[in-house]
């Protein structure tokens, strides 16, 4: 794996799940890590774990779906570490209350999901790109989903947001290639995160572990993924080993998309 020493990395939704896994992985490679999250307690735990290893880390507790929050993350990153080299747009929500069809889904739920899952990616790119230009280039990696490629029932806002992430990835890649900024996406399948566990408790309140195991069996590799599985791919895409990759997505899904109609 590439050495990220002295690279400055921002991870949104960095305190838990896939974001936490990416923060730990980048820190292990000696990157300077900034975790942006609204969960102050989880962020404090992450800071303690990374600082115990002697690596450099900073947290910004804010809502990156709002312009002032996204701008503050970038401003604090530049103030603390001097610039931005890598952005992992990872934050995402899929509230249990949003498992509804389009007729039943409240407009405010649609707006909130699109704001967190898609608008925040635009905002973070908007404010990071000028700093990347000043450094002579950079990498943006967007966390999409297999649900941006296919879908299950009753997730109209989530599916729309993740499809939008993939299209935004392509557009940013074209617009900023001349500035040596590569833009890529990962499309995870079911990953063992607090959000997935929360969904399992919603769908199978008497035995959530059975739901997790069933979701794992749907993947050809026979299990759900881990945050480390996603982090390994993110670090590769952010490295010089992927220097001729841009505008593309990589499925980290245990073979799920190879099945076709996975749902």
Closest CA to 190 of 172, 203, 207, 171: 203
Could you give the CA distance from residue 42 to residue 116 in angstroms, rounded to a whole number? 18
Per-residue three-class SS string for the chain: CCCCCCCEEEEECCCCHHHHHHHHHHHHCCCEEEEEECCHHHHHHHHHHHHCCCCCEEEEECCCCCHHHHHHHHHHHHHHHCCCCEEEECCCCCCHHHCCCCCCCCHHHHHHHHHHHHHHHHHHHHHHHHHHHHHCCEEEEEECCHHHCCCCCCCHHHHHHHHHHHHHHHHHHHHHHHHCEEEEEEEECCECCHHHHHHHHHHCCCCHHHHHHHHHHHCCCCCCECHHHHHHHHHHHHCHHHCCCCCCEEEECCCHHHHCCCC
The one catalytic residue in 121, 127, 158, 249 is 158
Contact 74, 10 (CB under 8 A): yes
Does residue 176 have an active-site annotation?
Answer: no
Active site residues: 158
């Amino acid at each position: 794996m590439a050495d990220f020493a002295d690279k400055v990395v921002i991870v949104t939704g960095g305190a838990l799940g896939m974001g936490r896994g990416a923060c730990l992985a980048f820190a292990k490679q000696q990157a300077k890590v900034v975790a942006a999250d609204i969960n102050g307690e989880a962020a404090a735990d992450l800071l303690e774990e990374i600082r115990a290893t002697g690596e450099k880390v900073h947290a910004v507790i804010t809502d990156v779906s709002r312009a002032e929050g996204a701008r503050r993350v970038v401003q604090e990153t530049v103030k603390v570490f001097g610039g931005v080299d890598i952005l992992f747009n990872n934050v995402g929500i899929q509230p249990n209350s949003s498992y509804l069809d389009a007729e039943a889904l409240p407009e405010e739920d649609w707006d909130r999901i699109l704001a967190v899952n898609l608008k925040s990616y635009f905002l973070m790119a908007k404010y990071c790109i000028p700093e990347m230009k000043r450094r002579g280039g950079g990498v943006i990696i967007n966390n999409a989903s297999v649900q941006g490629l296919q879908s299950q029932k009753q997730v109209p806002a989530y599916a729309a947001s993740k499809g939008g992430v993939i299209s935004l990835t392509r557009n940013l890649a074209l617009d900023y290639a001349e500035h040596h900024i590569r833009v890529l996406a990962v499309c995870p399948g079911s990953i063992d995160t607090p959000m997935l566990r929360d969904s399992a408790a919603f769908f199978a309140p008497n035995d959530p572990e059975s739901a997790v195991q069933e979701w794992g069996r749907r993947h050809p590799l026979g299990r759900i993924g881990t945050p480390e599985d996603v982090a390994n791919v993110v670090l590769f895409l952010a490295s010089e080993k992927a220097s001729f990759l841009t505008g593309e997505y990589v499925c980290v899904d245990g073979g799920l998309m190879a099945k076709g109609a996975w749902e």
